[in-house]
Structure 1
Amino acid sequence: MRSIAQAWITPLLIAFSMTWIAVGSCGRCEAVEKIKFKDARQREQNVTGESLVEARDGGLLLLGDDGRIWTIQPGQIESKETDDSKLTPVDEATVQQRLLEEMPAGFEIHQTNHYLICHNTSVQYVTWVGSLFEQLYRGFNAYWKNQGMVLEEPRFPLVGLVFADRKSFEEYARPEVGEAVGGIIGYYNLETNRITTFNMPNPERNIATIIHEATHQLAYNTGLQQRFADNPMWVSEGLAVFFESPDFSSSRGWRTIGRVNAVNLQRFKKYLLSRPADSLSTLLSDDKRFRNADSAISAYSEAWALNYFLLKTKRKEYVAYLQELSKGEPLKSRSPRERIEMFEKFIGADLQTIERQFVPFVTRLR
């Protein structure tokens, strides 16, 4: 249930760390770049966008006019034009046209109030998926408004891809996900800014995954988080699990936000039997536990538990912390010590104090 590209943000940070220059105080340049280049698959691309990061060697992290972020190495660039105008996102009709040109024959567009869903599945299924997205959109915005956080309107159309079956889903997703595609049913891609999934035989069992990935997309498109910034995975994944919690009393399988996530609560209580004393420190200081197959399950469960604890007991402080994180710039990283110091500053307590409050709170949950 992780967002794709999260695993390779770290290599990007390493590759750019000695050479990059942020363009603009907020990581956004007002100038428009028109770049012709060949992508990693040697396909010619003509992209209009704005530079998020420019490396000293001429490489770019470019935000396209449809919301896609391109990583362009200097050797890929065939031509480049710059003017002083401000980037204007393309309209929904243009995004629809591009999607239909990109996808194989047989795909159509299902449009909702806030989403463009490109699909080759049944109208009934894509309508159901669209209704879930819209339900989350309303709930997500209402939830953060109630917490005192003002979110932005998405700058670009929110795009979803829904395939007719697992086979076609895997064929499309493998170049983005790799061989891990066989073990997932959907994902959000930080680079393309899209959710991708397929028509599942028992979709009600998998609602949590759909909501989880759609939560990632909303977080990165409403200003709650910035793509390719140093977003701690315990925050990103913990919030997505917080929003995904299934509601089996609802005919849709999902209705409310912030319910106790029974699966992750059980996993965390099991983890408590062997949980090391420095568990909070390792969760907050870096993302290694999420990337290790042996520790990922406990990391996800602890991330959910910590988010739940903070949103229920230290809401004001945690919202202030999230607002500070939302100011992050692409490819700027914090050291493990800086991550912990920032957390302690905004929450108003050191990790030892938080630990003494956190664990008893979670163990009392039912």
Structure 2
Amino acid sequence: MGNGSIDRRRWFGAATAAVIGGSSRRASRAQEPPRADPGPVPIHDADGPEVEKTLSEAGFEQIRRLRSNHYLALGDGAESFLRSSLTDCEELLIAYMRHFRDRGFDVKEPEKPLLVTAFADDRSFGKYHKMPSLMQGGAQAVGMYDRATNLLSVFDWRNVPQVSRAANRNVQTVAHEGTHQLTFNTGLLDREADTPTCIVEGLGTYGEPRKVMGPSDLGRMNVQRADDLAKLRRSLPWIPVRQLLADDSTLRAGLYGKVMLAYAESWALVHLLLNDKGRLPGFRGYLAAVKARKDAEHRLDDAREHLGDLEELDRDLQAHAVRLVRAL
């Protein structure tokens, strides 16, 4: 099915949507999922002609198309935005491959061009995805990777009124959603597997911090997520690792602050598992095991087998979170 055919009731079941930083309440509201379980999401890779067709059917008259080594961008965004988005994606791919190969993961470059829809602004993004624009005050994602169609969608923040640091938001959104796209297209994760949302979003937030200009190493300090850890822990209880792994709704719905804390803890968890030499082999084994799972029945068993005692992991994570906050 084409990306344009995903209706508003099911979009979160099919997509991972960016929540960029704790300072944007409009972004946080986009994390509210449908009330009912959307059910299994059919996997169908969209291709360039299909995306162009859905763009035309959505009423877009001028569709630009730009190709790089590993990506194809389409949309009504300015050519400069398509070009900069593709540059950011290519630099992210280089950093991503180096980072995970250095840590012993068997990741491979995508076999075919990855698709990106690049929209002129939030109104065009909302028009295509059948959501209200940010200025209309509705719940809207600020970027999206659609696991069903394998499509990355972003818009140009520079054309959104009253938004500061627009260039940084462009880079950060591409990095977050682009990391999602890479995890599912390099062999790290499987699009049809049952992967805990905290791992999916932990990886996305791990790839999020990038320089606005020039290449960046993957896994840099995520200042916004660390700041969320520092501030939100003053008023909210710690979310145990067991809950993060078992209950996806912790990151999908609920109070604004709790969702932001869940994202920050997920970032800290992946940061710990990828940078603690003692835990790294277990994380490699854990991701390999998760790729074979089609439902959530074995989530905690897999975690205990490969990541060890979950209470001990939780204590280690809390200590790691303190170190990250102190490094600000």
TM-score, with length taken from structure 1: 0.69
SS in 1 for 2:157: coil
- Counterpart in the other structure of 2:29: none
Residues 55 and 128 of structure 2 are in contact (CA less than 8 Å); yes or no, is this contact kept in structure 1?
no
Give the residue type in structure 2 aligned to 1:164.
A
Look up the match of 2:163: none
Render the CA deviation track for 1:78-117: whole Å, top value 9, x for unaligned: xxxxxxxxxxxxxxxxx43333333233112100001110
Instruction: Spell out, residue by residue over 1:39-75, the C-alpha distance to the aligned partner (whole angstroms, 9 max, x if none).
Output: xxxxxxxxxxxxxxxxxxxxxx7654xx24xxxxxxx
2:107 maps to which residue? 151
Structure 1 pair 334/281, CA: closer, same or farther in 2 (3 Å)? Answer: same
1:208–1:293: structure 2 CA closer, same or farther, 3 Å change rule? farther
Q: Is the CA contact (8 Å cut-off) linking 2:272 and 2:320 kept in structure 1?
A: yes
Partner of 1:266: 227
In the other structure, the counterpart of 1:5 is 15
Q: Contact 2:152–2:178 at 8 Å: present in 1 too?
A: yes
Letter in 2 for 1:251: M
Instruction: Return the match for 2:81 from 113, 116, 125.
Output: 125
1:270-349 correspondence to structure 2 within 5 Å? 270-273=231-234, 276=237, 279-294=240-255, 295-313=258-276, 314-328=279-293, 332-335=294-297, 338-347=298-307, 349=308
Change (3 A) 1:227 1:125: same
SS at match of 1:255: coil
| Mapped pair 1:98 → 2:50 | yes
- 1:171-199 deviation digits (Å, cap 9, x = unpaired): 11126999996543321112221111222
Separation (CA, whole Å) in 2 of partners of 1:306 and 1:96: 36
1:96–1:109 CA contact under 8 A, matched in 2: no
Show the 5 A alignment for 1:165-244: 165-174=121-130, 183-201=140-158, 202-244=166-208
Mapped contact 1:3–1:187 kept (Cα < 8 A): no
1:362 to 317, 321, 324: 321
Residue aligned with 2:82, SS: helix
Partner of 1:28: none
Structure having the higher strand fraction is: 1
TM-fit CA distance, 1:156: 4.4
Paired letter, 1:225:
L
Secondary structure of the structure 2 residue equivalent to 1:109: strand
* Structure (1 or 2) with the larger CA radius of gyration: 1
List gaps (5 residues or longer) in structure 2: 1-11, 17-32, 159-165
Q: Secondary structure at the residue paired with 2:87?
A: helix
Question: Which residue type is aligned with residue 227 of structure 1?
Answer: R
TM-score in terms of structure 2 length? 0.76
SS of 2:130's partner is helix
- Describe the shift of the 1:62–1:199 C-alpha distance in structure 2 as closer, same or farther (beyond 3 A): closer
Amino acid at match of 2:305: K
Alignment RMSD: 2.9
Question: Within 2, Cα distance between the matches of 1:180 and 1:242?
Answer: 29
* Structure 1 residue matching 2:116: 3-state secondary structure: strand
Q: Structure 1 residues 334, 190: closer, same or farther in 2, change over 3 A?
A: same
One-letter amino acid of the counterpart of residue 311, structure 2: Q
Greater RCO (Cα-Cα under 8 Å, separation 6 or more): 2
> Cα distance, 1:157 vs. partner?
2.9
Matches within 5 A, 1:8-157: 11-13=37-39, 63-64=43-44, 67-68=45-46, 95-104=47-56, 105-157=61-113
Gaps of at least 5 residues in structure 1 are: 17-60, 69-94
| More off after superposition, 168-177 vs 122-131 | 168-177
CA gap of 1:344–1:10, structure 2 versus 1, over 3 A, is farther
